[in-house]
Structure 1
Amino acid sequence: MIAWAMVRHRFASFAGTFVAIALGVAVVAGSVTLYLSSRPEPPERYRSAPVMVQAPSVGTNDFGEPEIRSWTHDEMADISEKLRDIATVIPDPVFYVQEEGTQDQGTARIDGHAWSSTALGGYRLTSGRKPDKTGEVVARKALNSRLEVITAKGPESWTVVGTTDGPGYYVPDADALGRASGVRVIGLTVTGNPAQAASEAQALIGPAGTVRTGADRAVLEPEEITRIRWLGAQLLIALVTLGTFATVFVVASTCALTAAQRRRELGLLRAAGATPGQVRRLMYAETTLIALLAGLVGAPLGALLAPLLAGPMVDFGLEPPGYAATWQPAAVGGSILLGLLVALAGVAVAARRASRVSPMAALREAAAETRAMTPARWVSGLLSAAAGGALLAAMPSMPTASKSTAGLGAAMLLLTAAALLAPVVIGPLVRLATAGWRGSATGMVVREGTLTGVRRVASTAAPVLVTVGITVLLTGMIATIEEAAGIDGTAQIPAATVLAPDGTPGLSEAAVQGQPGTSRLGTRVLITRGQQIVGEDAVGEAGAPVTVTPEVGVGLGSPLPLRWADGTIDTLTVRRIDPDAAAPVVLPRELVRRHDPDALTGMVVLAGDPRPAAGARALSARDYVQEEIDEEGRLVDLFLWVLIGLTAGYTAIAVSNTLLMATAARRPEFRALRLAGAGLGQVLRITTAEAVLAAVTGALLGGLVGGLSLTGVRAAVEDELGQDVALVIPWEAALGVVGLCVVLAVVATAVPVLRRSATSAA
């Protein structure tokens, strides 16, 4: 009852906590709704095939996905023959096809299909006839029109002999089998019980494949789609993580300030007989009520906003075409519960500290605050600083792969230390900044008011410190790495000009043939090492001997047992070991093309004037590398600014709430100034100067920590490249965030003063 009365009658004191929790719950609810709506699902083109057979798995690839091998033609024919008695058997080869003049949207590699596979999706012929020979296609195009396309072979002209209600391009079955890099999926259309048919099918084929039915068919989602979903999932997970920690930070800061301002009130409760445990339970109960109210507001808001974000996520390539956010009760309920747990975690320290204040000490307290640094704060701050400094010092001796992670960890520890130890450095910084204000009455008031309210200033500076530090670190790290990537990428291309894909996922065979220069045809092979089979990236180079890197683990002159993309097993002899090879395995180009008809070439390093080709263009090596960086940077920048935006939003809440509460609590002080002859303008100048001083102090500390951490990241990059890399400081982003924090601080202090002035005038 007491907790409810406190919340009801003093809700303004809890407004910052309420907004922080509501925002955090909304971010979590929206992100989890989007995440759960993006779970892998059976491909739409298999909707009429309740039973599917997948080729055997041989482990996992670098993305944690199953490494599936292809069946050979003989294996596929044998499986089909065994299954014909229980279902209609439809192999599903897929291949690359793209209309000339269009841009690849990430799915062109799987847009080509065999005509018979239309039955797997329940698609029908809406006009015309099925394709009977090479050069004929069924598609969503005008009947009898000519379709100019690019395939792995090169430009082709097809005749649309039929139209269908299904997406993609459908060619004769034999043509599709010849174009595809093997077959990994066979569909079964059954008339009886799918579960029974699946059981019978598995018994018939044994280890030659895995039978999947129902929701289990979701694993058949194409890798291209799965990786798009993976990108979106990383952003959503980052949002949930950052939102959770930021909520804890804001709630902890707000509750600590609230507890400090309520010392007399809590002391009165203690004097009336309340035990420390009862004081703690009171604060927990108040926070629980606020968290539940905030959750009931934030969770539905996040769930309602999630569908509005589905379209932009598809546009940015973070979700596949056709993605839509759906109602997810677990996201709403889970976010409310998480908001409650986060709020209780944030109030824990403040509640414990409040419960330890003796009744008489609280009642005797003057307006001046107590010591800003407690023993626990000293210990935590110094330990964090020592750990962060130790990480930076140890980075030169760390493995190269661990240096970037260590740099980020050091930054987080140093930011935490700076936030905890801020009251220690605020005094000297304030004295230095106000050294020239001694002759001004306003300057003297600002100086002494700030020095006697170090805890208040530290509470304001802390969120600014963290935001500026994170902004400097993240934007500077990305800019430094992009600069280094440009240097490294250009160094790896020993020519002034390259022939690169133009809106396509790669160069066709026709585009590469006759070009003056060298090229690499990308593929993937499965290598047998004793009893283990592993997948490795490989490239085909004209006239190249069989070459492997030392990591492959095969010696010079040793046999290299491998399985090609089409499922064929072969054994080659290793002719060269090269640690700087273009890929783990380098093979003769003609062998790669023979066994992987759908393979594409990444680029051609030109040694002369290029020959014009469809889906290709010539550009300098530097421009090619920069375009690659820009394409990857587009997503990185999106991630970066979303995270910085969320951090800045929480900073706005923390700064505004801290200053609103602190300024409101200083009304007697401002009343005394007015009685002493200070005008409203002078009071506003005092509060504005104090707010700017606090924000700038936090910005300086945050920028210092961020810049120091960047030096560690640069050292890691330089070690990886073996050359000097310029340290890029993101001045525009840092100054923009500092400016935002200063404006928020000024507004948050002016509002209570103006409101009080207006009330007094009335």
Structure 2
Amino acid sequence: MSAAWAMVRHRFASFAGTFVAVVLGVAVLAGSASLYLSSQPQAPARYDAAPILIQPAMAGTNDYGEEERPAWPASEATGLANRLATLPGVAAAVPDPVFYVQRLSGGKATGDPEAARADGHAWSSARLGGYRLTAGRAPESRDEVALSGADPGTRIEVLTASGPETWTVSGTVDGPGFYLADSEALRRAPGVPVIGLTVSGDEARVADAARALIGPAGTVRTGAERDLLEANHVTRIRWIGAQLLIALVTLSAFATVFVVSSTCALSAAQRRRELGLLRAVGATPGQVRRQMYAETTLIALLGGLVGAPLGAAAAPLLAGPMVDTGLEPAGFTVTWQPAAVFGAALLGVLVALCGVAVAARRASRVPPLDALREAAVDPRAMTRSRWVLGVLGAVAGAGLLAAMPSLPVSAQSSAGLGAAMLLITAATLLSPVLIVPLVRVVAWPVRHTATGQLVREGTLTGVRRVAATAAPVLATVGITVLLTGTIATIEEAAGIDAAAEFSTGSLLVPDGTPGLSAAAVAAQPGESRLETRVLITHQDGITGFEAAGVAGSGSGAVLRDDTATELGARAGSTLTVRWADGTTSETRVRAVDPDAQATVVFPAELVRAHDPQALTAMVLLDGEPTAAPGARAMPVGDFVREEIGEEGQLVDLFLWALIGLTAGYTGIAVGNTLLMATAARRSEFRALRLAGAGTGQVLRVVSAESLLAVAVGAVLGGTVAGISLLGVRASVESELDHSIALVIPWGAGLAVTAGCVAVAVVAAAVPVLRRR
């Protein structure tokens, strides 16, 4: 280890790339882990004063893997709460009905639309959050409300599932939410999803007594289990943020291995004579390997000591932007996570050791006679493994592209992306072979000039050096063009496909709300559907369905053919339906229709009776719309573009985060490669100066070589990505049966290439200028 420390201390420049890669990798890992560990499910704040929460019994899971827990009917929940209130140690047992409400300001809905679905409550449930009146009194009549931020007697405009209403503030509360009289809240809410207990005795004993009383009719949550009551839309937001963090950590780990591996491989090649000398004086292959492992471990430890605190310090700065972009819920904060910091530093060492493994094995095979080697020409640019893997990758990628027309339509897009990744990998592995003809072609016009000859011969002599510079550029440009081009092409296709689904020219859609109210829909000329969720019992169990209520659809239910198959039902069958309000009824299947508007269609009045909070997603207009709060009319084309744009913003965020990280590692790889390679050519540059070349001429030579290497990588990456995009477009056209334009992201490709050029020129020039 002492020898390794001496080598690191005296030749730190040779390890700069490894150090920077580990610092960046550990920082990304520590920051991402801190964000992830800080973003854990939390029970809603309105239950802070209720250590025991009770939910209805589970009836399965939905398409997201979330629990299906049908609400209790209001009468059942009230009776159960009364029995729970008699248990020893229970201070109060309070049902918590929730319903949709948003405040209107100037006719516009305010606040978070999704959070507004559960902003309405019964006054008695305010005690579950420990909320108290600071002025006025509790609400008593139907149009009275208690809330924060308004003085008693104030008249406020709100939007509910029924439509716009005017309420009088009876009292001011020190917590969020709209609180109505208990009877009014129970009337508006579709059942009761939670009963909260405040306690005056031992929580554990009260919880056990509650479990014994409820039995299989519900689930008692205490301690950390209470966090499972987090709202589903908040959980999904956390899930989306977690996917980005996981992607960043995974890419960072792979990129760190790549940079460390390439840096150590180049370092081993430049130290070939030194390693040969070690072998000549008696060092065994095992000792050579241990020397390289020890050097890398020291560098990784130093990098971890810098990167881990850096990532932990940067994590809180990202909390705001993640909330703003919808990757974390409102109020998210980052807390100190020691496991993230120390775990990142440790993982950085392991990742670095993975990166050095191949280089250490090759270094241990250097023969002692290489200590006498003087030539700077690469002995062999291609190893046998690179030939085999490169050719196999090229054949597999080309074969997959050729076979795409015969694949199922649903698999063609994935096959195109897979073929692209195979071709990019193959081009990276075979780059030393491809570089020679490309260099000869590019250098042909200047072959008779002194600088042109030096650049051409220096590049052809150091093919391994050029390949080490071109490979990360190739991969980055290829991946950037491929991903941005694929997403742009798919968005182009999505717009065509989505617009074709509508049979009308204009729509009425929500404006800052989660859906359209009953009053807004009733005033419009056009077709609409209420959205609700039902649980249907069948011979294999209970299944939840997103159902619709359609006016004028007749009596009974209409099923899509796939839904009928899943339920084992047909026209004339009887369904046992559990509604949103917790009640159960028998409904006859009127028809099975493959073109039904939803998986299950009921009469609109039946849905409204069982789900007073049901909202309408949109109205297909067939006349002039009527203005209504929380609603706006727009052409179908504008709506489709807006929807695709909103989804595209999140996709673009993921995309540019990954591309930015990849480009950062590429800059490290390119800069470090050229710094090391240029510094190792001191004798070559000394010979040029003795032959009469000035510093400016030497700079022009090394800059031209750097530009040539970056250009080769960019051309190869762009070519492979362009070929792959043709396959992706063909698969999308086949799926849609419609021609679409091929979108080539020139701007993204040129931006990444320009960044690589800047890094390459600076990295190549610095060693020359330092030794003027």
User: Normalising by the residue count of structure 2, what TM-score does the alignment of the two structures yield?
Assistant: 0.96
Q: How does 1:441-590 map to 2 (within 5 A)?
A: 441-544=450-553, 546-552=557-563, 553=565, 554-557=568-571, 558-590=573-605
Identify the match of residue 235 of structure 1 among 234, 244, 249: 244
Aligned equivalents of 1:398, 1:562: Cα separation in 2:
41
Aligned equivalents of 1:204, 1:714: Cα separation in 2:
62
Shift, 1:398, TM fit = 4.2
| 8 Å CA contact 2:470, 2:712 repeated in 1 | yes
Aligned equivalents of 1:104, 1:390: Cα separation in 2:
53
Query: What's the secondary structure of 1:107's corresponding residue?
Result: helix
Aligned equivalents of 1:254, 1:714: Cα separation in 2:
37
Farther-moved stretch of structure 1 (709-718 vs 195-204):
709-718
| CA separation of 1:578 and 1:693: change in aligned 2, threshold 3 A | farther
Shift, 1:582, TM fit = 3.3
| 8 Å CA contact 1:104, 1:505 repeated in 2 | no
Query: What's the secondary structure of 1:60's corresponding residue?
Result: coil
1:606 aligns with 2:607: no
Query: What's the secondary structure of 2:576's corresponding residue?
Result: strand
Query: What's the secondary structure of 1:538's corresponding residue?
Result: strand
| CA separation of 1:515 and 1:194: change in aligned 2, threshold 3 A | same
Shift, 1:71, TM fit = 1.5
| CA separation of 1:204 and 1:391: change in aligned 2, threshold 3 A | farther
Farther-moved stretch of structure 1 (644-653 vs 363-372):
363-372
Q: Which amino acid aligns with 2:583?
A: T
Q: Which amino acid aligns with 2:302?
A: L
The CA deviation string for residues 656-706 of structure 1, in whole angstroms up to 9 with x for no partner, is: 111111111111111111111112221111111111111111111111222
In structure 2, what is the equivalent of residue 113 of structure 1? 121
Shift, 1:401, TM fit = 4.4
RMSD, aligned α-carbons: 1.6
In structure 2, what is the equivalent of residue 760 of structure 1? none
Q: Which amino acid aligns with 1:135?
A: D
Farther-moved stretch of structure 1 (417-426 vs 74-83):
74-83
In structure 1, what is the equivalent of residue 102 of structure 2? 98
Farther-moved stretch of structure 1 (359-368 vs 441-450):
359-368
Shift, 1:102, TM fit = 4.1
| 8 Å CA contact 2:109, 2:511 repeated in 1 | no
Shift, 1:150, TM fit = 0.9
1:149 aligns with 2:158: yes
In structure 2, what is the equivalent of residue 54 of structure 1? 55
| CA separation of 1:593 and 1:530: change in aligned 2, threshold 3 A | same
| 8 Å CA contact 1:228, 1:317 repeated in 2 | yes
| 8 Å CA contact 1:501, 1:602 repeated in 2 | yes
In structure 2, what is the equivalent of residue 689 of structure 1? 704
Query: What's the secondary structure of 1:57's corresponding residue?
Result: coil
Farther-moved stretch of structure 1 (93-102 vs 741-750):
93-102
Farther-moved stretch of structure 1 (88-97 vs 539-548):
539-548
In structure 2, what is the equivalent of residue 328 of structure 1? 337
| 8 Å CA contact 1:141, 1:160 repeated in 2 | no
Shift, 1:187, TM fit = 0.5
| 8 Å CA contact 2:277, 2:370 repeated in 1 | no
In structure 2, what is the equivalent of residue 10 of structure 1? 11
Query: What's the secondary structure of 2:291's corresponding residue?
Result: helix
1:127 aligns with 2:135: yes
In structure 2, what is the equivalent of residue 646 of structure 1? 661
Q: Which amino acid aligns with 1:90?
A: V
Aligned equivalents of 2:731, 2:611: Cα separation in 1:
38
| 8 Å CA contact 2:211, 2:220 repeated in 1 | yes
Query: What's the secondary structure of 2:60's corresponding residue?
Result: strand
| 8 Å CA contact 1:96, 1:110 repeated in 2 | yes
Aligned equivalents of 1:46, 1:363: Cα separation in 2:
77
Aligned equivalents of 1:497, 1:721: Cα separation in 2:
23
**Structure 1 residue ranges without an equivalent (≥5):** 758-762
Shift, 1:193, TM fit = 1.3
Aligned equivalents of 1:621, 1:730: Cα separation in 2:
27
1:437 aligns with 2:446: yes
Shift, 1:519, TM fit = 0.9
Aligned equivalents of 2:758, 2:110: Cα separation in 1:
44
Shift, 1:563, TM fit = 1.4
Aligned residues: 757
Aligned equivalents of 2:730, 2:189: Cα separation in 1:
46
In structure 1, what is the equivalent of residue 767 of structure 2? 752
Aligned equivalents of 2:755, 2:142: Cα separation in 1:
63
| CA separation of 1:89 and 1:492: change in aligned 2, threshold 3 A | same
Q: Which amino acid aligns with 1:541?
A: V
| 8 Å CA contact 1:82, 1:205 repeated in 2 | no
Q: Which amino acid aligns with 2:562?
A: E
Q: Which amino acid aligns with 2:309?
A: P
Aligned equivalents of 1:150, 1:398: Cα separation in 2:
51
The CA deviation string for residues 550-597 of structure 1, in whole angstroms up to 9 with x for no partner, is: 322244313233211111222323333333433222222222211111
Identify the match of residue 740 of structure 1 among 739, 742, 755: 755
Shift, 1:717, TM fit = 2.9
Shift, 1:113, TM fit = 1.4
| CA separation of 1:362 and 1:378: change in aligned 2, threshold 3 A | farther
User: Normalising by the residue count of structure 1, what TM-score does the alignment of the two structures yield?
Assistant: 0.97
Identity of aligned residues (%): 66
Aligned equivalents of 2:595, 2:345: Cα separation in 1:
52
In structure 1, what is the equivalent of residue 210 of structure 2? 201
Q: Which amino acid aligns with 1:37?
A: S
Farther-moved stretch of structure 1 (710-719 vs 533-542):
710-719
Query: What's the secondary structure of 1:325's corresponding residue?
Result: coil
Query: What's the secondary structure of 1:617's corresponding residue?
Result: strand
In structure 1, what is the equivalent of residue 609 of structure 2? 594
1:138 aligns with 2:139: no
| 8 Å CA contact 1:369, 1:453 repeated in 2 | yes
